Amino acid sequence: MGISEDGGLFVPQNFPKLDLNKVLQLNKQGYEQLSAYVLSMFFEETDGDLLSLTKSAYKSFDAKSVVPTVKLTEQNYVMELYHGPTLAFKDMALQILPRLTSLFLKEHQQEEKVLVLTATSGDTGKAALEGFANVENTAIVVYFPVEGVSDIQKLQMVTQEGENTSVCGVYGNFDDAQTGVKALFADKQFVEYVKQKGYTLSSANSINFGRLIPQVAYYINTYADLVNQGKIKLGEEINFCVPTGNFGNILAGYYAKCMGLPVKKLICASNNNNVLTEFFANSEYNANREFFQTMSPSMDILISSNLERLIFEICNRNSNMVKDFMEQLNHHKKYTITAEMKEKLNCFYAECCNEEETKATIKNTFEMHGYLMDTHTAVAQCVYEKYQKQTRDTTLTVVVSTANPYKFAGDVLCALSGEVEADAFVAVSKLNTLSKVRVPQAIIELNTKAVAHKDCVNKNNLKKAVEDFLEK
Ligand SMILES: *Cc1c(COP(=O)(O)O)cnc(C)c1O
């Protein structure tokens, strides 16, 4: 189940405690080992072989260590989460989720198949399609905002192969798509219709608990990398700076901290859609605001769904209170947390940066460190630099890198050279000439793939895509 029957999100009953010495050992044996350990702490009930599951999930990654830890300066590291098949961090979880789904279907001998419905701001969609394509007893429908994704992102989705996949554009923005999908889950008649067709609904969005847990693993892994490489001592605290949209990635970092990972600050980086920056500053979450389309589209979000899980933790797991806040959010698009709750947010720092700052950061980072970063990662790098200036904190900080720069080649090229190149593939080639950074095979292949999905629907009619798919 992606979401509970009353519309709330699933959370762990408690946070299992990490054995850090064991973590260091497993880190030496490889990412797959560490990830399987973290999964086993949350999915105790399965007899399934989680190690073979993580091994097959991360096999296709084009980095031997799966998640490389790269040094920019003694204080400033980057954790690269984009070495999966779709070139963004979503693969970290979405290569695991379908395998977990299959495993649990088998273990529970469930007869119904699973129909995954997913709204995407760009990267989730492709990663989910890639993860679920041709997976037995599953099918997937992805909704993307027609005007809200990059050319490469869109091409990646509409060229998806696999009998059990469907992709549909939505006239509206990401919040429209996400709200529409949530409404489908709550629509009893629709759920019944899907059931009659032999399916039960699930979600591949980051509200799905099965997506959250695989993400916890990489925070732990990078910490272990730094200890094992002698950069920090065991027990020493570090910071993570995370480019944030739906609050899934950074929440996984918070969960890792709750499990005992020595984390000092979780720095929440936003683009012009800075609803979270204001929330952390003044306790009010207010989604009544203008929506901006930015060059970091996967963070163009006004309703950060996973914040609900953080709210749950900081109000002492009082689910009635959470329900109340979420109802306020639904009806009035805003809510304000109590002073007591705000105090529990001390381990967070939040800041935002605009488009010019994002571009300048891409350029500076490349010129100063020879390191090429994508637009989302640049938001985080920029916010880290602001944090550093403001606080003088010298704690080692890991900036979380969420996408391969070629996925946003046009904007990255423009940031570096000032050149505006409308054709995505020409931009890729020019960026390659300029940066000498290798172009991933997945981008090269995209140029010649056939478009398989052409449908678009009105934001009030998401149902239609499912009906078309199931009646096909
Ligand atoms: C999804 C995504 C984000 C935002 O992550 P959340 O978990 O939604 O906060 C940032 N960068 C990229 C490239 C993404 O695909």
Q: What percentage of the chain reaches a pLDDT higher than 70?
A: 100
pTM above 0.75, yes or no: yes
CB neighbours (10 Å) of residue 332? 11
Which range in 41-45, 146-150, 298-302, 324-328 is most confidently predicted, on average pLDDT? 324-328
Among 246, 270, 309, 382, name the best residue to mutate to test ligand 1's pocket (greatest count of ligand atoms within 8 A of Cβ). Answer: 246
| Cα angle, residue 171 at apex, residues 167 and 177 outer, rounded to 5° | 65
Pocket of ligand 1 (CB under 6 A): 88-90, 123, 206, 243-249, 298-299, 376, 402-403
The 10s digit of each residue's pLDDT in 27-61 is 999 999 999 999 999 987 777 789 999 999 999 99
Q: Cβ distance 373 to 404 under 8 Å? A: no
CA dihedral 186, 283, 349, 382 (to 10 degrees): 80
Strand, helix or coil at 263?
A: strand
Among protein residues, the one whose CA lies closest to atom 8 of ligand 1: 246
CB neighbours (10 Å) of residue 283? 15
The 10s digit of each residue's pLDDT in 421-472 is 999 999 999 999 999 999 999 999 998 899 988 889 999 899 999 999 998 8
Q: Which two tokens stand for residue 108?
A: 């529970």
Rounded to the nearest angstrom, the distance between the alpha carbon of 6 and the centre of ligand 1 is: 26
**In sequence order, which residues have a C-beta less than 8 Å from that of residue 390 and are 6 or more positions away?**
none
Of ligand 1's listed atoms, the one at least distance from the Cα of 403 is 13
Rounded to the nearest angstrom, the distance between the alpha carbon of 7 and the centre of ligand 1 is: 23
Q: Tell me whether residue 288 is exposed, middle or buried, using C-beta atoms within 10 angstroms of its C-beta: 0 to 12, 13 to 18, 19 or more.
A: exposed
Only one residue has tokens 């830890």, namely: 69
Of ligand 1's listed atoms, the one at least distance from the Cα of 301 is 8
Tell me: pLDDT of 342 over 80: yes
Q: What strands lie across the sheet with 199-203, from one edge to the other?
A: 199-203, 113-119, 138-145, 165-171, 456-458
| Cα angle, residue 451 at apex, residues 446 and 454 outer, rounded to 5° | 140
Of ligand 1's listed atoms, the one at least distance from the Cα of 247 is 9
What pLDDT, on the 0 to 100 scale, is given for residue 129? 96
Q: What are phi and psi of 400, to 5 degrees?
A: -90, 120
Q: What are phi and psi of 185, to 5 degrees?
A: -60, -30
Q: Which two tokens stand for residue 33?
A: 């080992």
Strands 138-145 and 165-171: parallel
